[in-house]
Amino acid sequence: MEIVLLQGSPNKKGSTNILVEEFTKGAEASGHNVLRFDVADMNIKPCSGCVACGYEGPCIQKDDNQKIRKAILNADMIVFATPLYYYGMTAQLKTVIDRFCAYNTSINRKHMKSALLTVAWNSDNWTFDALNSHYQTLVRYLDFQDCGSVLGRGCGSSAMTRYSDYPEMAYVLGKSLS
């Protein structure tokens, strides 16, 4: 399976990265290919809302999002990876998702698989309520088949994350994909 992983943390060596690396090891051990995009490093402008695309067509903005669009349309699965920022995903990841606008129908028709990898400082049991609800709504709207989530509570630094159970959970999620 071809997997596009959208890594939304601007901190490429941080906690999100730990989950991403473990997920990737697991997925590769099961024979999948993971194509990672560190979206915070890419030149991707926010959707301008012009709707020149007609919600399905070429986007007038010729930036790095063209690479992501092409990769997603050739993939079987999207993995969303993000630290929790003010109880949602990072703006960098949301920017890429907003740009789905120009190929929304194509994504919908593909019935792709999806997963969520995320980390947060907070460890309360409600920490991921808003993000998880947003993710589940995207799954429903974009007709994804949800393969699972790793919601890393109490993962405020790389050291906290590395010594938690979440890296192993990310590995197992990747390995479990069929």
Ligand X SMILES: Cc1cc2nc3c(=O)[nH]c(=O)nc-3n(C[C@H](O)[C@H](O)[C@H](O)COP(=O)(O)O)c2cc1C
CB of 53 to ligand X, least distance (A): 30
16 is a site residue for ligand X (CB under 6 A):
yes
Residue at 14: amino acid letter: G
Q: Is 61 in the site for ligand X (CB under 6 A)?
A: no
Q: Is 11 in the site for ligand X (CB under 6 A)?
A: yes
In the chain, what is the straight-line distance between the N-terminal and C-terminal CA atoms, in Å?
A: 8
Q: Is 36 in the site for ligand X (CB under 6 A)?
A: no
The one among 96, 107, 119, 151 contacting ligand X by CB under 6 A: 119
Tell me the residue number closest to ligand X, measured at CB.
14
The mark string for 76-115 relative to ligand X (x by CB under 6 A, - otherwise) is: -------xxxxx----------------------------
Q: Is 127 in the site for ligand X (CB under 6 A)?
A: yes
Give the pairing of strands 77-83 and 33-38: unpaired
- The binding site for ligand X (CB under 6 A) comprises 9, 11, 14-17, 83-87, 119-122, 127, 155-156
